[in-house]
Amino acid sequence: MAAGLVISAPASGVGKTTLTLALARAWRNRGLNVQCFKSGPDYIDPAFHAAATGRASVNIDSWAMDRGAIAHLVSRGADADVVLAEGSMGLFDGVAARGVSGTGATADITEMLGWPVLLVIDPSGQAQTAAAIAAGLRDYRPGVRLAGVVLNRVASPRHEDLVRRALRDAGIAVFGALPRHAEIGLPKRHLGLVQAEEQAGIGKLIDEAARFVAEHVDLDAVLRAAANWSPAASNGLNVTPPGQRIALARDAAFSFVYPHMLEAWRAAGAEIVPFSPLADEPPDASADVCWLPGGYPELHAGKIAANARFRSGVRSFAETRPVHGECGGYMVLGTALTDADGVRHEMAGLLGLETSFAKRRMHLGYRLAELATPMPGHRAGARLRGHEFHYSTIIAQPDTPLAVVHDATGAVIAETGSRRGQATGTFFHLIAEDR
């Protein structure tokens, strides 16, 4: 029976990912099998989890997924000794309107699975107030149970003592306190952390984080505070692959695809054939559909524009078979992309979409789309749940709208996606189909 624990915090940027990776690697170094999950729609953290544990990590999302889907995904932890779910944002942060089984908050997952919360608190600029924050989080929602706290970035032994005393008086266990340690910081960019696959030294960084955390955190006490857990029965995921043989763009510019989606495609019998647009590779000619996920095409726009073999290959593919792009992939299927320096780059030209990063505007949030026309794997009228996060501005979006798209409040948004011939695209990344 596994020990289940959720790692959360009052806010983003407090150190959840670093602590999750460090605990996972430290317990793995002790010979334990560790399985990680990511609560919410972040598509970067699961790759870091896999680097720390040696096991694939997937997203579990209470806004986009029903309880059966979540139960199916977490069942992969049945053979693990420790199961960790890393939260997103603050513990109770979600959307105002409930989705399929919750608001997308980490607290939904905690309550659903019955796993207690290990809270990461950064007491920088405060002392006893940190205990008030922890106590407020403990008492805010009756179904959420607090295991205890790890303090991060404490300034001095005196600072640590003040915070520890206040937490003890509030009846909250402190499992450890981490001084500031720049060597375990993870590099960031505009959509979050720099991807694990882009960091050659990620293994050494995680090892150092594990060593540091093991020196300052009582790992045995944390394990004792976790909940005994065994997976509930489930019926699997309701996912339709976009085709039987899928040419999937996969490199540093096209990497934002949810692992559970790829696994579900394979489980349904589909074959995935990766190719690299950055290496000037076209989609496999034997595939029956081409899928370009999101990523960082804006960082590689000049190279993509210069890769004539890729661009002509994807155009040729689209003459007879469907091609779909998500977010960054959608932008590459468009006519042009202007980078942050204001340089305009010609893209594949399968769609009329033009986007610009010179005029930055953040687009962030859950999306519920009802398809107005078909897209690969889905008929017109299908309802899809996903998440959108990018900083591009739409300059032109002249093609037939792909869908009527709502945000989590139900408001209609302008990012409808597009269809032209065999090419389709959306700004959101697909997480789940509405049952």
What are the catalytic residues? 327
Rounded CA separation 67/428 (Å) = 22
Cα first-last separation, the chain: 31
> Considering only CA atoms, which of 426, 413, 422, 327 is closest in space to residue 384?
426
Contact 328, 256 (CB under 8 A): yes
Where are the extended beta strands (E) located within 209-322? 227-229, 245-249, 271-275, 289-292
Contact 280, 310 (CB under 8 A): yes
DSSP 66-107: -HHHHHHHHGGGGG-SEEEEE--SSTT---SS--SSSSS-HH
Residue 263's H or E segment, with its range, is helix 259-267
Q: How many CB atoms lie within 10 A of CB 241?
A: 22
> Considering only CA atoms, which of 383, 381, 398, 361 is closest in space to residue 430?
383
Cα dihedral 199, 202, 204, 208, rounded to 10, equals 130
